[in-house]
Amino acid sequence: MDAKTVGKQLKEELCLNPKNMGDVLPQEEIQKAMEFCEGYKAFLNAGKTEREASAYLVKILKEHGYEPFDYHKKYEAGAKVYYHNRSKALIMAVIGTQPIENGVNIIASHIDSPRLDLKPRPLYEEAQFGMFKTHYYGGIKKYQWTAIPLSLHGVVMTKDGKKVEVSIGEEAGDPVFCVTDLLPHLAADQMKRSLQEGIKGEELNVLVGSLPFKDDEVSERVKLNLIRLLNEKYGMTEADFMTAELEMVPSFPAKDLGLDRSMVGSYGQDDRVCAYTSFMASLECQAPKRTLVTVFADKEEIGSDGNTGLNSSFLRYFIADLAKPYGVEGRTVLSHSTCLSADVNAGFDPTFPEVSEKNNTAYLNYGVVISKYTGARGKSGTSDASAEFMGEVSRILNEDHVIWQIGELGRVDQGGGGTVAQYVANLNVDVVDVGVPVLSMHAPFEVTAKLDVYMTYRAFAAYAKSDR
Ligand code: MN
Ligand code: MN
């Protein structure tokens, strides 16, 4: 049978026919995707907080000849600069050959992830246990954070003004911590609570130690012993907790997931998967036509507020400073700029099909996801990309044979969410969300498919070199 029926022919020409990339990608490309994700896992393991993730990227930027941005300088085409905002957010830029007033290509991801922050006075003793009080950061299902190994990350400012970096629980042989949960035998009352209340915010207490300091003359000796240990290791006292930034994150490393190793399971893939893919694509983009500005923002998980979040002015100021030596206003540059808001979307979960609408949800292994809008209810809280810009982005991806799909975050009125897209759009920039579909988003162990990760990298690479 070589002749196609007319109907078959028409269907091929006119109808959408999404395919699993495992069926359509050549073996070499599948192999490349697997190899690409080795670097991705290393990044996930090295950067479990926005500070660590941005420091890891800055180190690589320096090795590749990127220089700290100097707003006095007029940069030539091909110049590579970076701006590390308060050690938590990062902008990298490659100056293009086109005049800056033509606008720039922006890719904006975020490198903060949901976690348990320590309260300013976290340490207490109860029933001869040393415990940390926490305040969760970002949208979490609290019950998921009990009875898993946690590690402690962050910075402590000592009285003499030194910044001490803390990391306990990542190295082989390191101790870890955990939030305890009730045994089922005694959980009859707890089990009657709603899932939302199963573990309450004030029950997210971390177990830190149990042995008392040997001295009958003092009280709270377990607590004293723990402060003594922290003092030995980091030179800190209890007062230093009040000014510190300390966070509990899952201590397990990123792993291949599945017998076929087709997926990555790890903490913090929202949104370090888009950070890594956009970083690699930008790093490999030599001498683009339009200046390429790649942003790794903080604070997205709590609404993008704060001076390291994209609802602040740091991106706007960076663009203005970049443009000034050419005699161009920042607003002129922004008004001609475009942006891919690089963030994950929910992938279809076979166990919970009822929250998605099957034709407009993203599927793992079906390619990079374009989300025209996010938000909730009647498109509240979204920038909603225009048809013109959607068309432009789709042409850029199609020209480079990037496999993409469309994705909406759940059924209408099921819930919703937002990204940094709206904040960049508010600067008069054309923006659309592009990223990787994820299962178990915001859980301590999130799931992505390696082919999607790789295709997202290819999408950012296509956009990075595009000049519309
Ligand atoms: Mn995100
Ligand atoms: Mn998120």
DSSP secondary-structure letter at 306? S
Report the pLDDT averaged over residues 300-309.
97
CA of 239 to the centre of ligand 2 (A): 32
Task: Identify which of 354, 346, 424 has the alpha carbon closest to the alpha carbon of residue 389.
Answer: 424
Res 198 pLDDT > 80: yes
pLDDT for the residue numbered 158? 87
- Mean per-residue pLDDT for 155-159? 93
134 near 118, Cβ under 8 Å? yes
| The pLDDT of residue 332 is above 80 | yes
Q: Which two tokens stand for residue 31?
A: 């192999």
For residue 264, report the phi and psi dihedrals to the nearest 5 degrees: -115, 130
Residue 400: name the closest of 454, 339, 458 by CA. 458
Over residues 210-236, mean pLDDT: 96
Ligand closest to CA 275: 1
**Ligand 1: centre distance to CA 344 (Å):** 5
Q: What's residue 100's pLDDT?
A: 97
Structure letter (DSSP) for residue 86: T
Percent of the chain topping pLDDT 90:
97
Mapping DSSP to helix (H, G, I), strand (E, B) and coil, where does residue 412 land?
coil
How many structural domains comprise the chain? 2
For residues 283-307, average pLDDT:
97
pLDDT at 177: 98
Average pLDDT, the chain: 97
Instruction: State the ligand closest to the CA atom of 419.
Output: 1
- Residue 33's pLDDT is what? 98
119 and 94 in one domain? no
Residue 262 maps to a domain: no
CA of 110 from ligand 1 middle (Å) equals 7
* Residues 221, 280 within the same domain: no
451-468 core/surface letters (b: 16 or more CB in 10 A; e: else) = bbbbbbbbbbbbbbbbee
**Domain of residue 75, CATH code:** 3.40.630.10
- Residue 10 domain flag: no
Residue 460 pLDDT > 90:
yes
Residue in the structure block whose two tokens are 């003004």: 161
Q: What is the pLDDT of residues 384-409, one digit of tens each?
A: 999 999 999 999 999 999 999 999 99
Whether residues 124 and 103 share a domain: the answer is no
Indicate whether 289 pLDDT > 80.
yes
Residue 77 pLDDT > 90 = yes
The CA-to-CA distance between both ends of the chain, in Å, stands at 43
- Between the CA of 413 and the centroid of ligand 1 the distance, in Å, is 20
Query: Residue 142's domain spans which residues?
Result: 115-250
Residues 6+ apart with CB under 8 A from 225: 130, 209, 211, 212, 213
104 with 120, same domain? Answer: no
Q: Band the pLDDT of 2: cuts 50, 70, 90.
A: low
Assess whether pLDDT exceeds 60 at residue 311.
yes
Query: Within a domain: residue 168?
Result: yes
**Strands across the sheet containing 255-257:** 255-257, 263-266, 446-449
Using the 3D structure, point to which of 196, 218, 250 is the last residue of a domain.
Answer: 250
Q: Which residues hold their Cβ within 5 A of ligand 1, which is an ion?
A: 270-271, 343
pLDDT at 207 over 80: yes
Residue 283 domain flag: yes
With a cut of 60, say whether residue 133 has pLDDT above it.
Answer: yes
Residue 346 lies in a domain: yes
Q: How far is the CA of 3 from the centre of ligand 1 (A)?
A: 47
Q: How far is the CA of 343 from the centre of ligand 1 (A)?
A: 5
Residue 1 has pLDDT above 90, yes or no: no
For residue range 105-126, what is the model confidence (pLDDT) as tens digits?
A: 999 999 999 999 999 999 999 9
Q: Are residues 164 and 100 in the same domain?
A: no
Residue 159: pLDDT over 90: no
294-304 average pLDDT score? 98
Same domain, 151 and 37: no
Q: Tell me, yes or no, whether 361 and 459 share the same domain.
A: yes
Tell whether the model's pLDDT for residue 160 goes beyond 90. no
- Read off the pLDDT of each residue in 32-61 and give the average, rounded to a whole number: 98
Sorting pLDDT into bands at 50, 70 and 90, what band is 287?
confident
Give the domain CATH number at 218. Answer: 2.30.250.10
Range scoring the smallest mean pLDDT among 113-117, 274-278, 316-320, 416-420: 416-420
Q: What is the pLDDT of residue 370?
A: 98
Alpha carbon separation from 432 to 77, 310, 371, 387, 408 (Å, rounded): 27, 15, 7, 11, 13
Q: How confident is the model at residue 264 (pLDDT cuts 50, 70, 90)?
A: very high
